[in-house]
């Protein structure tokens, strides 16, 4: 009997102590991609990502901020993706204001795999919530087709060579390697233009390492904390694709994020700030991202796989030739 009383008291005090903590977690966070994640493909089109934060009653919270962290897919067990330096890295880290409970941004996903979004919400009245989401971006079917065709070609090449090499007669196997050598000069020092009212700063960008992208209103009167709305767009110049964008987010005169440029190419970063009663402030900068050579650990499995295909073709060709000879 006394044991029951003790257990009841323990449960009562446990509920008293920890029950309030559970009740404080009253924010609901929803994450959505448009188009839906099943339709996403790497390096095709930027995706609209949106977060919705609601209170316990289901209504979007009026004000608040959300800290977002987007991580790239982890490296595969054997084959890498076409951009291995991005695998397992931080793609994007930023803080966005919530507008009617929503935060939206555009992002181009560079590789296939499972992306992870970590969200930390703080509402204006101090309520906090954290949530993690994961979604998978599947590889482009055209790439799998190209890989299949290339693998088949290697097998056929080995097959023919295996037939030729089998037997007494030796025929020369022409191996023609045609390589059109075109050299393209890398140029393009970062250039800054635009009215002096805004400052756009971008750290030297290297693939696989997030760079700080900062925008702020220049102090033409020391108004560093002036409210503004900011539209920032990063465009891949060669592919002419938007890889990241935020549209008219409310910022206190400055905004920054960590952004991982997905490949070694040129990007245009355009920031447009709008301050009430003033002309828009536009800044533009072209960033040349330094590419990093993939590690040998990413190269070797692929080369071994392709060479093994040729070897398999050789074996099949030899088997085929010997079989046809014995049947005669």
* Single residue of 16, 22, 170, 276 touching another protein by CB under 8 A: 170
Shortest Å distance, C-beta 136 to another protein:
15
Backbone angles phi, psi at 154, to 5 degrees: -65, -40
DSSP character string of 312-323 = HHHHHHHHHHHH
The Cα–Cα gap between 257 and 67 comes to: 10
Is residue 219 close enough to count as binding another protein by CB under 8 A? no
The Cα–Cα gap between 137 and 114 comes to: 6
The answer to whether 52 and 173 are in contact (CB under 8 A) is no
Strands 90-97 and 254-259: antiparallel
Is residue 77 close enough to count as binding another protein by CB under 8 A? no
Is residue 89 close enough to count as binding another protein by CB under 8 A? no
Size of the site for another protein (CB under 8 A): 55
- Decide whether 62 or 325 has the Cβ nearer to another protein: 325
The Cα–Cα gap between 227 and 273 comes to: 10
* Single residue of 23, 142, 323, 328 touching another protein by CB under 8 A: 142
Per residue, what are the HEC states of 9-29?
HHHHHHHHHHHHHHHHCCCEE
Is residue 181 close enough to count as binding another protein by CB under 8 A? yes
Is residue 187 close enough to count as binding another protein by CB under 8 A? no
- Decide whether 95 or 140 has the Cβ nearer to another protein: 140
- Decide whether 183 or 187 has the Cβ nearer to another protein: 183
* Single residue of 263, 271, 281, 287 touching another protein by CB under 8 A: 263
- Decide whether 39 or 146 has the Cβ nearer to another protein: 146
Closest by alpha carbon to 146, among 198, 82, 236? 82
Task: For residue 60, count other CB atoms closer than 10 A to its CB.
Answer: 16
Is residue 211 close enough to count as binding another protein by CB under 8 A? no
The Cα–Cα gap between 111 and 109 comes to: 6
Residues lying near another protein in the complex (CB under 8 A) are found at 43, 79-85, 112, 139-140, 142-144, 146-147, 150, 154, 157-158, 161-162, 165-168, 170, 172-173, 175, 177, 179-184, 207, 263-264, 291-294, 298-299, 302-303, 305-307, 310-311, 314, 318
């Amino acid at each position: 009997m006394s044991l029951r009383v003790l257990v009841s008291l323990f449960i009562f005090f446990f509920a008293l102590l920890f029950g309030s903590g559970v009740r404080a977690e009253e924010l609901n966070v929803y994450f959505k991609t448009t188009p839906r994640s099943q339709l996403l493909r790497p390096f095709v089109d930027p995706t609209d990502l949106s977060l919705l934060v609601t209170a316990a009653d289901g209504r979007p919270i009026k004000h608040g901020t959300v800290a977002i962290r987007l991580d790239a897919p982890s490296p595969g067990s054997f084959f890498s993706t076409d951009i291995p330096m991005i695998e397992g890295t931080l793609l994007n880290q930023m803080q966005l204001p919530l507008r009617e409970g929503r935060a939206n941004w555009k992002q181009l996903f560079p590789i296939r795999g499972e992306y992870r979004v970590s969200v930390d919400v703080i509402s204006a009245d101090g309520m906090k919530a954290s949530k993690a989401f994961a979604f998978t971006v599947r590889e482009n079917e055209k790439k799998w087709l190209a890989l299949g065709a290339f693998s088949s070609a290697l097998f056929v090449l080995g097959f023919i060579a295996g037939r030729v090499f089998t037997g007494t007669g030796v025929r020369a196997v022409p191996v023609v390697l045609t390589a059109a050598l075109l050299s393209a000069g890398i140029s393009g020092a970062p250039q800054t233009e635009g009215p002096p009212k805004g400052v756009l700063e971008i750290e030297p960008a290297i693939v696989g390492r997030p760079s700080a992208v900062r925008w702020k209103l220049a102090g033409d009167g020391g108004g560093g904390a002036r409210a503004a709305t900011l539209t920032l767009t990063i465009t891949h110049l060669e592919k002419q694709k938007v890889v990241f964008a935020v549209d008219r987010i409310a910022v206190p005169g400055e905004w920054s994020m960590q952004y991982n440029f997905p490949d070694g190419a040129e990007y245009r970063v355009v920031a447009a700030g709008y301050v009430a009663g003033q002309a828009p402030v536009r800044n533009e900068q072209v960033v040349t991202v330094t590419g990093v050579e993939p590690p040998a650990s990413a190269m070797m499995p692929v080369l071994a796989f392709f060479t093994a295909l040729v070897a398999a073709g050789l074996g099949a060709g030899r088997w085929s030739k010997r079989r046809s000879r014995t049947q005669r």
